[in-house]
Structure 1
Amino acid sequence: MQNAPALVALYALALLLGGMVFFAAVTTPVAFRRLEREQARHYIRGVFPIYYLWVFATSAIAALALLPRDGQAAAVMAACALLAVWMRQGVMLRIRAADEAGDQATFKRLHRLSVIVNLVQMVMAAGVLAAL
């Protein structure tokens, strides 16, 4: 089973990238199309902590599986996992606080940051997946 770590990394990366794309392309847009704005916001707020746990877990699994094979790819995925922790425990809390305080300028700035970080994480995962 020499290729078991590579297979684990491949599956983790596929689950990571698939989950991220599904959330961005399906879950969020459908919530805002099918629910009232306040309901959609409440729903998405509830999903984000789970989403970032998913991103963290799948990134961390990929990083650990890649470590014996490719240290650089493992480092990229470890960085992706750490970004997920930062987003979940830092940025998302600040976004929620700004939204609840009615501070739209801060909300928009932090939301833009979260979108950029999410895209960077997708590129990181796609790049490592393509390199496998």
Structure 2
Amino acid sequence: MLAALALLTTALLFGGMTLYAFGFAAVLFKTLPMPSARAVLRGAFPWFYLFVIGTAALAAALWWPLHPGRAAVLAAVALSTVPVRQLLMPAINRATDAGDRRRFAWLHGLSVGVTLAHIAACGWLLAGLA
């Protein structure tokens, strides 16, 4: 039972991050005017990061007694998301508000890279279970 919960929680994390990164944001930019899309994303990202932190931490706790290596990967996802939410996201918002496109592009690229690394890590864990 614990293994099934650990697997399902990891799959939820992978699916949630993938849907948000490749679905939700893209749909917003295609269906809403740019200022509205940006406002919705700015409001949604703190919740997205809390989802990643909480779900990754839960998955790590579930994996711990079964496979500490998997738990460590998921704990790293949870822990590395905290500075993204608390430091990087506000810096991205400040760059946007200041109209500093160059700084925004660099910081946004960094946040995308971190998210893609998290998705890859979860996908690697799941693929290893197939």
Q: Same fold by TM (over 0.5)?
A: yes
Aligned residue number for residue 49 of structure 1? 46
**Structure 2 runs not aligned, ≥5 long:** none
Alpha-carbon distance between aligned partners in 2 of 1:10 and 1:84, rounded to the nearest angstrom: 20
Counterpart code for 1:17: F
Aligned residue number for residue 115 of structure 1? 112
2:119 is the counterpart of 1:126: no
Aligned residue number for residue 10 of structure 2? 13
C-alpha RMSD of the superposition? 0.9
Aligned residue number for residue 106 of structure 1? 103
TM-superposition CA deviations, 1:60-118 (whole Å, max 9, x none): 01100111111111111000001211111111011001111111111100000011000
Task: State the shift of 1:129 in Å.
Answer: 1.7
Task: State the shift of 1:131 in Å.
Answer: 2.4
2:110 is the counterpart of 1:96: no
- Structure 1 length normalisation: TM-score? 0.94
Alpha-carbon distance between aligned partners in 1 of 2:128 and 2:54, rounded to the nearest angstrom: 20
Aligned residue number for residue 76 of structure 1? 73
2:23 is the counterpart of 1:26: yes
2:106 is the counterpart of 1:86: no
2:57 is the counterpart of 1:60: yes
Alpha-carbon distance between aligned partners in 2 of 1:130 and 1:68, rounded to the nearest angstrom: 20
Q: Percent identity?
A: 42
Number of aligned residue pairs = 129
Runs of 4+ in structure 1 deviating by more than 2 angstroms, as ranges, are: none
**Structure 1 runs not aligned, ≥5 long:** none
Q: Secondary structure at the match of 1:69?
A: coil
